[in-house]
Amino acid sequence: MQTERQPPMTEPVKTIRIEVLRYRPEQDSEPVVQAYEVPFTDDMSVLQGVQYIKDYLDGTLSFRWSCRMAICGSCGMMIGGVPKLSCQTFLRDYYPAGLRIDPLAHFPIERDLVVNVEDFIRKLEGIKPYIVPKEPRTLEQGEYLQTPGQLEQFLQFSGCINCTLCYSACPQYGLDSKFMGPGVLALLHRYNADSRDGASAERMQLVHAEEGVWGCTAVGYCSEVCPKGVDPANAVNQNKTASAMDYFLRFVTPKAVANKGAANKAGAK
Amino acid sequence: MSARRPYVRSMDGWWRRDPFFVRYMAREATAVFVVAYALVLLVGVLRLSQGEAAFNAWLAALRSPLSVAFHVFLLAIFVYHTWSWFRIMPKTMPLILPDGRRLKPGLITGAGLAAAALLCLAGFAVLMGVKP
């Protein structure tokens, strides 16, 4: 048995009220709010608060977490109605008012704070989220060379950790989950904008669809909540331009060239 | 047998849930007023085609207190329209990398707003008959 966390002697123990939306499919017909009084110190994250509940107050509470340092993307929750990684959000910022924690919005609730992200994973697999070489390359040919400009075109979008906070920030995804959504489209752009990649014409077929970039209405909240500064809204909207260009260029260019035009391979400086 | 019973939450009133969504809906709603003002101007063109008397009557109608109040209201709406669209502009543009680094979003928004303000002033000067 673990011993109780002891705050430093100089600091009085503070207690914060954490309300959690609970859903136990075997007993709840719909989610219910349950409140806990959690003692905390100023260095405790919301994740640590939830872990305290599970360890000392209510062992039945379910939630996902892993790394505790904003890189695994597992611990996303709606904290005070805003999608955040609970490991990098601090309880002190909600004191003394207390806070409310919901499972990530727009996803079906599996149990308590655990949501079902199968739809996201399926879409992620569909975009070939890896570099597809343009042609076979031998070791003798050496490494790929890129200019700083070519690197900059995709570097930012490669920061995605699949935490799905952007999906919880996207009302278009909430209203119609057929929309591919910000995260997957940002990763699609990460590979399409990479000068080493040769599969962009194929990926553009997904971009062109109603469920692709055209499902986006430029709300822009996805980029605000992204914990990694990926800016999915920019990736999506760059591809609206690319998709429109591809559509109009087909009237003035031979077919093979038009497909290449869709590749959106700007950035060579 | 699976005990899974995924619960799908309602999206009712989604845009009231977050101030960000309220601002987004306000931005989208301003488009309705842009259309409304386009209709006002269209009526002006229609009245112009009906002769001088009809056009002057339209001009007189625009000077009524109700119409002036409507124009002040529309001006406020258009300012918000302009500001909100230039605010999202950095997210909708291809990357601009003048020195290999991405342009600051504030710079793009600021440039857009400055261009809009300059064009408005230029248009105003021309309409007022001020020779540059």
- Split into its structural domains, chain A has a count of 2
pLDDT tens-digit map of B16-74: 999 999 999 999 999 999 999 999 999 999 999 999 999 999 999 999 999 999 999 99
Pick the CATH number of B15-127 from 1.10.287.110, 3.40.980.10, 1.10.238.10, 1.20.1300.10: 1.20.1300.10
- Given a cut of 90, whether residue A69 has pLDDT beyond it is yes
Question: Distance (Å, rounded) from C-alpha B81 to C-alpha A248?
Answer: 29
Chain B: residue whose CA lies nearest to A149: B100
User: Which of B8, B17, B90 is opposite residue A81, by nearest beta carbon?
Assistant: B17
User: Which of A109, A224, A233 is opposite residue B7, by nearest beta carbon?
Assistant: A109
Residue A5 confidence (pLDDT): 62
Residue A11 confidence (pLDDT): 61
- Do A125 and A26 have their domain in common? no
Q: Do A109 and B24 touch (CB under 8 A)?
A: no
Predicted-complex ipTM score: 0.84
Average model confidence (pLDDT) across chain A:
90
Specify the CATH number for the domain of residue A32: 3.10.20.30
Confidence of residue A4 (pLDDT cuts 50, 70, 90): low
pLDDT tens-digit map of A178-194: 999 999 999 999 999 99
A255 or A144: which carries more pLDDT confidence?
A144
Where among A115, A143, A159 does a domain terminate? A115
For residue A212, being part of any structural domain is answered with yes
For residue A2, being part of any structural domain is answered with no
- Given a cut of 90, whether residue B82 has pLDDT beyond it is yes
Does the predicted TM-score (pTM) go above 0.90? Answer: no
**DSSP 3-state assignment of B2?**
coil
- Do A256 and A160 have their domain in common? yes
- Given a cut of 50, whether residue A59 has pLDDT beyond it is yes
Q: Looking at A64-73, A90-99, B30-39, B123-132, which range is the least confident one?
A: B123-132
- Do A130 and A44 have their domain in common? no
Confidence of residue A266 (pLDDT cuts 50, 70, 90): very low
For residue A5, being part of any structural domain is answered with no
Question: Distance (Å, rounded) from C-alpha B22 to C-alpha A110?
Answer: 29
**DSSP 3-state assignment of B7?**
strand
Domain range for residue A223?
A: 118-261
Specify the CATH number for the domain of residue A202: 1.10.1060.10
Can you give chain A as a three-state secondary structure string? CCCCCCCCCCCCCEEEEEEEEECCCCCCCCCEEEEEEEEECCCCEHHHHHHHHHHHHCCCCCCCCCCCCCCCCCCEEEECCEEEEHHHCEHHHHCCCCEEEECCCCCCEEECCEECCHHHHHHHHHCCCCCCECCCCCHHHCCCCCCHHHHHHHHHHHHCCCCCHHHHCCHHHHHCCCCCCHHHHHHHHHHHCCCCECCHHHHHHHHHCCCCHHHCCCCCHHHHHCCCCCCHHHHHHHHHHHHHHHHHHCCCCCHHHHHHHCCCCCCCC
Which residues lie closer than 8 Å to A209 by C-beta, 6 or more apart?
none
Q: With contacts defined as CB-CB under 8 Å, which chain A residues touch B10? A: none
- Do A125 and A221 have their domain in common? yes
Q: Do A174 and B14 touch (CB under 8 A)?
A: yes
User: Which of B5, B6, B91 is opposite residue A220, by nearest beta carbon?
Assistant: B91
Residue A7 confidence (pLDDT): 55
Residue A137 confidence (pLDDT): 86
Q: Do B100 and A269 touch (CB under 8 A)?
A: yes
